[in-house]
Amino acid sequence: MPQPPIEKLAIDTIRTLSIDAVQKANSGHPGAPMALAPVAYALWQNVLRYDPSEPTWPNRDRFVLSNGHASMLLYSVLHLTGVRQVDHEGRALDAPAVSLDDIKSFRQLGSRTPGHPEYRLTSGVESTTGPLGQGAANSVGMAIASRWLGARYNRPGLTLFDFDVYAILGDGCMMEGISSEAASLAGHLKLPNLCWLYDNNHISLDGKLALSFSEDVPERFEAYGWATTHVTDANDLAQLAKAFQFFKQQGRPTLIVVDSHIGYGSPKRQDTSAAHGEPLGEDQVRAAKQFYGWPEDAQFLVPDGVREHFQQGIGIRGRKLRQEWEATRERYRKEAPDLSRDLDLIDRFELPPGWDAELPVFPADPKGMATRESGGQVLNALAKRIPWLLGGAADLSGSTKVTIKGEPNLAAGEPGGRNIYYGVREHAMGAIVNGMVLSKLRAFGSTFLTFTDYMRAPIRLSSLMEIPAFHVMTHDSIGLGEDGPTHQPIEQLASLRAMPGLLVIRPGDANEVTECYRVVMESKHHPAILSLSRQALPTFDRTKYAPASGARKGAYVLAEAEGGKPEVLLMATGSEVRLIVEAHEKLKAEGIRARAISMPCWEIFEQQSPEYRESVLPSSVTARVAVEQAAMFGWKAYVGRTGKILGMKSFGASAPIKDLLPHFGFTTDHVVAAAKEQLGRKGP
């Protein structure tokens, strides 16, 4: 059906801004923005509860562009709707999130319009997307968060949280396994506030989709428990409006299949360069503009009336909704002051007073306990004081000890539950956690350390976004024993440490676990991996050795050499700290001055002053031994060219721990021998 002139003008402005930006950059994907412009228009202008003048309003609807290569679609919409830039405190500034100059600088150094949308960089971008399917799974976490916040904080007549979450997915998102995992869980939880828009265009970068993909997507989603509906032409605003109404009427997640056509957005015109993620070229740009009835020589044109049209739609509607919400929020402050203070803290990623008042201090114990056990105790102590701390495991809650005791499980009928059963869906778990943290909850996931390989993309994106997601990763070494090399992590610690901004934390005893959790909870911009043991570790006598609070600096002197003048430095993380402490005592008995250094988090240690780092690892002492049941990559930075590393050069083996450790050389005697070798002395 024909579109009213102003609607067509607005849609074609989205298209031509995208075309011009990609052409000027000589890089990017023009096809999807051209095809999806009517979908984005219909959603933002007529449906989305969103105030462009206050883009961080807590109850705004969320829009996630999972197929992030279509970024110019989002940038064009952010520009035309007048979304404001916000500062680091979340305050709206008198400046556009995306100016016309930003669009002209698409994909250029220092611009707010990178090739794929980036959270924090560009206001209005709810999540960093690009790796396909990540945004889709983030949207599930956001929908869970909306329901959770509503269940926990809404009161009769005082509804503060009921936002909906919309995500656009392409065929690539549908093919990635993470989307299937996330959709399955969303269907299981019957999330009624989640709507995915599937851009069904029958084309991928390799060519026609029939080369690789032929499944019936709606049938698949109906099997997940989703409602589905079909828009046969992306240009039909009336069909799109009916589809959005359909979503609002369902009590479960909804998939809207939208038939679109890469290129000019017309069933009759499908441009191959647009389909293959390349600029159109000047001739095709002219042809496209001619097809839209656009001035062929105009570049970055925003016709009179387009911005005003959006202000009359989403601008007025969003401002009214936000102001009504703020009035409710003020009433809430008076009627529920304690809960209101919680919400202020949540919004700022701050912790409640006394959040650490019940953190356990563990008595010295030669037998000790596994750090997964002490970790569970610390987590529960935190959960008592931080009501918005929630999470769970990928089918391993009993093994990783992350159940929050006395709290309900999150379920379709219990949206405010704090224990989340992700099922065997590690990849989706990581991205769902990100979505919840992007919604300001303190959320976590948990599995065995080796299975971080299944979730590297969401861990990486949490670091890129600088959000404080964290994961409890247990069974962190060959010490897990009989399960064997498939489950024994070797290279994971080194590869995670290589990720910029990620805190990789491997505490050496129960009290270090407590201190490391302090670091995790106080972090606002760094995600963290807590690497914990399956096997029991001794709890060190802190009257004899240094306080565990040293762990908060990433590395510290645990057992000092006689007179504070070491001849040899022994360093370790996690379960191997026991070995260097025992070696320290043996060497001391032989008159050798050894310093034992626990190094639970290299990243935090590197943030300390040069003076502190020198005090722990004095450069004058070159005799050094490092011990870690993992790949040795990275340790050279601490032991130097001549130091000794006792680590893993192979995968592990299936056997009881009592046989594994001596087989791979992780014994006190091996550490003592290595220290003597460093000092040029022979053992007995």
Cα–Cα distance for residue pair 172/532, rounded to 1 Å: 35
Instruction: Enter the tokens of residue 337.
Output: 């002051």
Q: Can you say whether the dihedral through the CA atoms of 651, 654, 655, 657 is positive or negative?
A: positive
Burial 61-75 (b: 16+ CB within 10 A, else e): bbbbbbbbbbbbbbb
Biggest CA–CA distance in the chain, Å, is 93
Q: What order of strands is seen across the sheet that includes strand 62-65?
A: 62-65, 165-169, 194-200, 254-259, 227-231
Set 278, 373, 426, 582: catalytic member: 426
Q: What are the helix (H) ranges across 233-315?
A: 237-249, 272-275, 282-292, 306-310
Nearest alpha carbon to residue 65 among 77, 57, 55, 53:
77
Helices (H), 371-509: 371-385, 397-400, 426-438, 456-465, 492-497
In single-letter form, the type of residue at position 253 comes to P
DSSP state of 684: -
Instruction: Report the alpha-carbon distance of residue 52 to residue 513 in Å, rounded.
Output: 43
Q: Give the separation between CA 440 and CA 434, rounded to whole angstroms.
A: 10
Task: State the amino acid at position 269 in one-letter form.
Answer: R
Residue 78: closest CA among 105, 104, 113: 113
Three-state SS annotation for 54-115: CCCCCCCCEEEECCHHHHHHHHHHHHHHCCEEECCCCCEEEEECCCHHHHHCCCCCCCCCCC
CA distance 449 to 489: 6
- Token representation of residue 64: 């996630």
**Identity of residue 329:** R
- State both tokens at 486: 């498939």
Angle subtended at Cα 469 by Cα 119 and Cα 458, rounded to the nearest 5 degrees: 65
**φ, ψ dihedrals at 594, nearest 5°:** -115, 140
CA distances from 29 to 90, 264, 275, 292, 448 (A): 30, 13, 8, 19, 38
CA dihedral 245, 248, 249, 251 (to 10 degrees): 150
Within 10 angstroms of residue 626's Cβ, the number of other Cβ atoms is 27
Catalytic residue check, 426: yes
Among the listed residues 633, 629, 618, the one whose alpha carbon sits nearest the alpha carbon of residue 580: 629
Q: Would you list the DSSP string of 177-189? A: HHHHHHHHHHHHH
Task: Tokens for 586, please give them.
Answer: 């043996």
Would you call 395 exposed, middle or buried from its count of C-beta atoms within 10 A (0-12, 13-18, 19+)?
middle
How far is residue 109 from each of residues 99, 106, 112, 113, 289, measured CA to CA in Å? 16, 9, 9, 9, 28
Q: Amino acid identity, residue 387?
A: P
3-state secondary structure of 635: coil
Residues known to be catalytic: 426
